[in-house]
Structure 1
Amino acid sequence: MKKKILIIIMFVMLTLSLSACSGMLNASGWPGISGDENSVYVAYANQVYALRLKDGSLNWRYPEKVEAARTYYANPAINGLNVIVGDYKNTLSALNIQSGTVTWTFEGATNRYIGGALVVGDTILAPNADHNLYALDLNGNLKWKFTAKHALWSTPIVHEDVVYLSSMDHYLYAINIKSGQLIWELDMEGAIVYSPSFDTDTIFVATLANEVVAVNALNGAIIWKNKSEVGLWSQPVYDNGVVYYGDTAGKIFAVSAINGNAIWDYMMGEMVSGAPAVMPDGVVFAGENGKLIALDFNGNILWTRSITGKLYTGPVIVDGLLVLGISQGEEVIKAYDFNGNEIWKFTPEK
């Protein structure tokens, strides 16, 4: 059963990553979402959209003329002046945040951008499926690159001057952000699809070896492991001493960040997807088949919603709204308040 689930997950991931090669205009991945106090930025299929946060109306889209072979699914990054987004045609573009016009492009990568870039100070960190993490200045010039052993599919995280990078090669890397030099590496014994999460001195990672692992951020030593009986398509998220995640059987877990011991669990009933979103009064989880559920910090139901379509990633909190990306549905984006009320929805023009 475990092997079958792993094969299914890997097949889905491979299908999504290769979808751009077909030249088809229909979307076959999931929306990449980010935002600020004014706008939500969505990378989906053949375009990038800037939407007004208050009502979901369109500010701009890029490009105006669709190029069939160029698709976007990586979460856009924001640096104040530009939106940084990678595509499946090996290009990282900086788009003016007001107009969507191209400020610059970086074409040094040799494969697609699946994971979103991250802007930290004067550095842009852009993971690519060509095994390289590219560090650029804010004008798109290469500072350094770090080469992993396999494809990079997730956004790195940064604490102080250390970049923590997960990879499909089973490794978690700690890298100096100024020089690109390796500080330590740890074999996690399974491919890592999602970004790690961070607490003061601990990193939390979910692997395709069906484990959630807590790692010492200073030296890469393993603190604890929780083995799942089934697959994990969920990113662990830390909040106030607790780590939240879910599995492919639909079970949600809240465990101690200190030792991994169970605090509570809840059966959602369908595969838990992506990263849960932490609200002031609880945590929101997305299910593959369209279920959205909010639980309080004791595991009690606050509210549930049913979405038409597939949810392969969790909601993103943007200035007090839960922004949800939807695949194979009537809409691509829906926004909810923290009480589960729908505020707006967005469907791209065809």
Structure 2
Amino acid sequence: MGYEKGGHEKGHAEYHLDKPKEQAEEKAELPTFQQIFNELPTTGSIISFSVFNNGIVYFSSLDTHVYALDAETGEMLWKFKTGGPVVSTPLIHRDRIYFGSNNGNFYCLELDGKLIWKKNTGNIIVSSPIGIGDKIFIGNGAGYFFCFSSGGDELWKFRTGDGIMAIPSTANGMIFVASYDKSVYALDLEGNLHWKFTPGERSSVALVMSDGKNIFSANKRSWDKEPCAKNFRLYCASYDNHLYCLDIGGNVLWKFNCGTSVPGGIGGDNSTVYVGTISGLIYAIDALSGNEKWSFRTGGMITSGAEIKDGRVYFTSFDQKLYCLSEKGEKLWDFMTGGPIVSRPFLAGNKIYFGSSDTLFYCIDAEERNVDWTFRVGFGLPDSSKSLMQNIVNVFTEYDRRIFRVWVPETAVKESPQINTADYAAKLGLDSTFAYGGLGSYLSKGKKKDTYGRN
């Protein structure tokens, strides 16, 4: 483990999806958090959001590294290697970098990439930390929510019923944590539970907080002093197809039916909440009333929240595109990458930064819509046949309106940066061995495990 220096490159690829012809018929219970995230493959997909600080952009990758690039040129300043794939979005807080890894470690680095400390939490970390004063908070796959001092001491931990995926939110002396056990927890800064909200039959996956004037998205996670919200509202996206708006006591002010499951992040500005769905729709919802303002359909699942700047709405989709819409929901332009996109776009000046499963990190000019530069992260097959066989994967397609938890991959067949999971969804209806395309990294063979429907 450590940090290294290196370079960057330009260019990107394109490929297209074929519509699956078969649908799986069986239905099973939702898998547990551990079943889904037991072992992420060691690939070059970029799932985390990017973070911008003093002309440097930071992001993590499933290739086990965290990267720091010159935001203007794309030159790599350093990279830090962990012991597992990294989904956690780095936090810059008081001139230190914090993030978790699939190996269960929680890391603290200096801004030059040198390790200050690391702590093992006992389970994988796919959530992202927040910082309040001299305290850092992070959740792990076993359902524990930790509070660490800036020096790395564990101050307390609170256990939920299952893994924690979402980035927590904070306001008014409270921290709000969404767990895969279907609930949202309101804790004080000492780890005491104040209330618990269970929205529906399925898990909560995303949180965003409003103070009545601003909606704080995932890009705002560092607080010298915790924000005080006179008109507090907490927005909670859930797999039960709804977006919930809660008050400071956990009471539902309104809920919005999105029609299909909401798999990920929420974005917003002063008056509007933006939420994406598995069906490929993004909704603009009035933050106060919960009424729909408009919706826009993409060609793939939307897993990250929107970023809003100068009356424009930016977001990404599994259809491999970055979108730019007007504040009225009209498409202004889109940009095609070489793979499904989970990463949320980040805007600094007129530049847009985001990563894709094609192993590239992009810097796009928002006005000219040109690629300023790209940076390619590491790429490779899973470390061993053992880890490959233990991997259980969630697969989403927009065509058959089902979620498939389907494979224990058996053998790596070939390396390919242009394989998409959805390309092989057509074979899901068969009991025989079929091909499986990972997120832009490898092709393997596996057998169908089970499926569960999405409503």
Task: Show the counterpart of 2:35.
Answer: 18
Task: Show the counterpart of 2:426.
Answer: none
3-state SS, counterpart of residue 18 of structure 1: helix
The 8 Å contact of residues 279 and 300 in structure 2, kept in 1 or not, is answered as: no
Distance 1:231 1:91, change over 3 A: closer
TM-aligned CA deviation for residue 151 of structure 1: 0.5
Runs of 4+ in 1 over 3 A off after TM superposition: 1-7, 13-17, 19-22, 24-29
**Pairing 1:1-350 to 2, within 5 Å after superposition:** 18=35, 27=84, 30-45=87-102, 46-53=104-111, 55-63=112-120, 67=122, 70-97=123-150, 99-107=151-159, 109-149=160-200, 150-160=202-212, 161-177=232-248, 179-257=249-327, 259-298=328-367, 299-309=369-379
TM-aligned CA deviation for residue 80 of structure 1: 1.1
Which letter does structure 2 place at the counterpart of 1:221?
A: N
Structure 1 unaligned segments of length 5 or more: list them.
Answer: 8-12, 311-350
Which letter does structure 2 place at the counterpart of 1:292?
A: F
3-state SS, counterpart of residue 344 of structure 2: strand
Matches of 2:275 and 2:21, distance apart in 1: 22
3-state SS, counterpart of residue 35 of structure 2: helix
Which letter does structure 2 place at the counterpart of 1:168?
A: Y
The 8 Å contact of residues 19 and 28 in structure 1, kept in 2 or not, is answered as: no
Matches of 1:16 and 1:132, distance apart in 2: 13
For the pair shown, which has the larger CA radius of gyration, 1 or 2? 2
Equivalent residue pairs, number: 295
Task: Show the counterpart of 2:421.
Answer: none
TM-aligned CA deviation for residue 33 of structure 1: 2.2
Matches of 1:6 and 1:17, distance apart in 2: 26
Matches of 1:266 and 1:15, distance apart in 2: 35
The 8 Å contact of residues 216 and 223 in structure 1, kept in 2 or not, is answered as: yes
Higher relative CO (Cα under 8 Å, sequence separation at least 6) belongs to: 2
Matches of 2:313 and 2:236, distance apart in 1: 19
The 8 Å contact of residues 16 and 29 in structure 1, kept in 2 or not, is answered as: no
Q: Which moved more, 1:70-79 or 1:261-270?
A: 261-270
TM-aligned CA deviation for residue 28 of structure 1: 5.5
Query: Percent same amino acid among aligned pairs?
Result: 22
Distance 1:211 1:5, change over 3 A: farther
Distance 1:78 1:159, change over 3 A: same
TM-score, normalised with respect to structure 1 = 0.77
Task: Show the counterpart of 2:217.
Answer: none
- 1:243-264 Cα distance to aligned partner (Å, 9 max, x none): 112222322211012x111112
Matches of 2:361 and 2:370, distance apart in 1: 14
Distance 1:15 1:293, change over 3 A: farther
3-state SS, counterpart of residue 106 of structure 1: strand
TM-aligned CA deviation for residue 3 of structure 1: 6.7
Matches of 2:301 and 2:372, distance apart in 1: 26
Matches of 1:28 and 1:305, distance apart in 2: 18
Calculate the aligned-residue CA RMSD, in Å: 2.7
The 8 Å contact of residues 83 and 101 in structure 2, kept in 1 or not, is answered as: no
Distance 1:278 1:14, change over 3 A: farther
Matches of 1:282 and 1:5, distance apart in 2: 41
Structure 2 unaligned segments of length 5 or more: list them.
Answer: 1-17, 25-29, 42-81, 213-231, 381-455
TM-aligned CA deviation for residue 170 of structure 1: 1.1
3-state SS, counterpart of residue 362 of structure 2: strand
Task: Show the counterpart of 1:344.
Answer: none
3-state SS, counterpart of residue 136 of structure 1: strand
The 8 Å contact of residues 291 and 305 in structure 1, kept in 2 or not, is answered as: yes
- 1:88-108 Cα distance to aligned partner (Å, 9 max, x none): 1121110111x211111112x
The 8 Å contact of residues 32 and 44 in structure 1, kept in 2 or not, is answered as: no
Distance 1:249 1:180, change over 3 A: closer
Distance 1:195 1:249, change over 3 A: closer
